[in-house]
A and B are shown apart, each in its own frame.
Chain A
Amino acid sequence: MISNVSGKILIIEDDSDIAFVLKTMIELDGYTAVTAGNGQIALDLIQSEGPFQLIFLDMQMPIMNGWVFAETFYKLYGHTVPIVVMTAAADSKHRAKEVDANDCLAKPFEIPEFQAMVQKYLSVKSV
């Protein structure tokens, strides 16, 4: 496991249990994680607590969903931070393409898949 890597990850997910597990696992791996229950809260957090090195994005959320968040985020910051879409849609890759995301995790996924995704984007940064 790569240690002493400073990685700050934003998890945008309206299901508090999923957000809780992801945050716990990230922290167990030595990174920092912040959770947001919808796109609007996430945009506020980026302003107040940014920058982040990686964003995990759920699609269907109240108040501001994943589509609107991605669009707004790219408009404000460009493609500066990789976004990984977490979706329960039948075709998750299509969904990722739809919002111009870097990658996707098809729900339901397991912790090792999630950890691999974190490694993929944060270890590249750390090289």
Chain B
Amino acid sequence: MKMGISRSTVFYVSTLLVVTVTLALGVFGFLNYTEIRNNRIDNLKANLSIQTSQLSIALALPGWNLDNFGVERIIDSFLLDRNISAVVADVGDKEKSIRVRDSNWQVVTSKTIPILINDFTEEKSIIFKNEKIGSVQVYVTPKFIQQELLSIVIRIVFFTLVLDLLLVLLLYFLLSRNVLKPLTEIERYAVAVSSAGAVPNLQMGGYFLTEFRSLTVSIENMVAQLINAKSSAEQTGNIKSQFLDIAAHELKTPVTALTLLVDMANIYVSKGMPLGKPEIERIKKQTNRLKGLLEDLLDVSRMERGFLVLRPVRTDIAALVNESVDDYRSQEPARDFHFTNPGAEVFIDCDPEKINQVLGNLLNNAIHYSPEGSPIEVSLTATPAVVRVSIKDYGPGISKALQEKLFTRFFRVISNESAIYPGLGLGLYISRTIIEKHGGTIGLNSEEGHGSTFYFDLPRAEIKA
């Protein structure tokens, strides 16, 4: 597998770093070199001036005495300084003394005045007893200064190159070991996580251990969180697909009944048999049931998207509950419905259709989860701030463990309870959402074997003065 950072990249980076540093040092060195060279040349010129003066003074006496030997000895003593390339002395009326250097830099006598283009020169009069008796001209060469500086430059460049090479190797080694290796390890880890989904451990080494350790911890935490998020998304997906199974299953019952009822009506018509009101009522009932299931599905869909809209109006909750109970009383004549009314109007601001839906859900549950003929007790109590509607049944009651899950979405799926009474298991979730949207709370008191009391509390309307 091709890794993101290769060894050649590390080498390239190391070299680039070293070359950059070397170039910067080079510019600095060049500026320094120019300054040093100028200083040396200036010194050379200053010395030239001093030496010419000294020579003119030293040559005064032997020049007056016409001591040729003395003049040459003095000139030669000055020529011991190898920077002096030539001396031309013109004393008295005799021939000029011209001392120059040969190719081996040995002092020799010349007949002609040398032409030294690169050299500096100065001339001074030779004065004895306030009388000018001749002149002396001294030449100095910058050759040795240049040679010396050149050798220094060569030495520095050589050492710099050796040092550069060492630095490149050292950087390469350090980067490979402490950056490339951990990064390669992180990449290997990422590949392992994305391909296998399994979580191997990150193996970190190197000198930057502490820096990479915190990175390792962050990466491992991130991976753990991603894995959690993924599994919870999968879980939600599972719950939803199971819910879809249940929904399809539940929709099949009214659809089957309607298919059969319509087929039957068809057969009645073709046989010339009369189709009675009870048959039409059955069709109506199944259609309503189908409508109810679809409405529940749409409600949940709206709630999931946060699109549940309330149309609140000031409502007498006592009258609302009374109407709802009356409806169920006529639908279920075998049942005994008790309604304990406060005997006065109790106003709340609510969407009466939605509260009716909650009452319907709770009353339906009470009917379906309690023995036939057992009474259902509805009561309405009010404090100055809150009104409570309670619905008590004499069914088997609900265990504490189930009570916690009862109001959750897709409870039937989550609880894994096989459905005894058909339905989507959405009623209580829808009811809770509606009541909470009204700023109220919903709950239950139940004990196994002693029936259940479901209740909801809603805030009372503020009484306008």
Contact = CB atoms under 8 A, between A and B. Distances in A.
Contact of B420 (A17, A25, A62, A109): A62
A24 B248 CA distance: 27
Given A17-B282, A17-B285, A62-B421, A111 B245 contact: no
24 contacts: A15-B253, A15-B256, A17-B261, A17-B285, A18-B256, A20-B282, A21-B263, A21-B264, A24-B264, A25-B264, A60-B249, A60-B419, A62-B420, A65-B420, A88-B248, A89-B249, A108-B256, A109-B259, A109-B260, A110-B259, A110-B263, A111-B260, A111-B263, A111-B267
A57 to B, nearest CB: 14
Contacts of A17: 257, 260-261, 282, 285-286
A116 interface: no
Interface string A62-81: 11010000000000000000
A21 B419 contact: no
A15, A63, A109, A110, most chain B CB atoms within 10 A: A15
A15 B421 contact: no
A107 interface: yes
B418 A18 contact: no
Contacts of A108: 252, 255-256, 258-259
Contacts of A88: 248-250, 252-253, 256
Nearest to A28: B267
For the side of the interface on B, what is the size category? 20 to 34
A62 B418 CA distance: 10
Interface residues of A, number: 24
A90 interface: yes
Contacts of B286: 17
Interface string A29-64: 000000000000000000000000000000010110
Contacts of A18: 253, 256-257, 260
A85 interface: no
Contacts of B449: none
| Best-buried of A14, A60, A63 by chain B (most CB within 10 Å) | A60
A83 interface: no
Interface string B88-132: 000000000000000000000000000000000000000000000
Contacts of B256: 15, 18, 88, 107-109
Nearest to B264: A21
A12 interface: no
B422 interface: yes
A37 B402 CA distance: 27
A22 interface: yes
A30 to B, nearest CB: 14
Given A17-B260, A88-B249, 11 more contacts: A15-B253, A17-B282, A18-B253, A18-B257, A25-B267, A60-B419, A88-B250, A108-B255, A109-B256, A111-B264, A114-B260
Nearest to A61: B420
Contact of A110 (B260, B282, B419): B260
A87 B249 CA distance: 9
Contacts of A109: 256, 259-260
Contacts, number: 65
A83 B256 CA distance: 19
Contacts of A14: 422
B422 A21 contact: no
Contacts of B264: 21, 24-25, 111
B248 A90 contact: yes
A62 B267 CA distance: 31
Given A60-B419, A62-B420, A111-B264, A21 B257 contact: yes
A17 B281 CA distance: 10
Nearest to A108: B256
Contacts of A90: 245, 248-249
A18 B263 CA distance: 12
Nearest to B278: A20
The 8 closest A-B pairs by CB, nearest first: A88-B252, A108-B256, A111-B263, A21-B260, A17-B257, A107-B256, A107-B252, A108-B255
A88 B254 CA distance: 11
Interface in B249-293: 249-250, 252-253, 255-261, 263-264, 267, 282, 285-286
Contacts of B419: 60
A40 B421 CA distance: 15
Interface in A1-33: 14-15, 17-18, 20-22, 24-25, 28
Contacts of B259: 108-110
Nearest to A20: B282
Contacts of B285: 17
Contacts of A25: 264, 267
A15 B282 CA distance: 11
A112 B267 CA distance: 11
Contacts of A110: 259-260, 263
Interface string B124-159: 000000000000000000000000000000000000
Interface string B415-432: 000111110000000000
B260 A60 contact: no
Contacts of B422: 14, 60
Contacts of B421: 62
Contacts of B258: 108
A88 B245 CA distance: 10
A100 B263 CA distance: 30
A20 B259 CA distance: 13
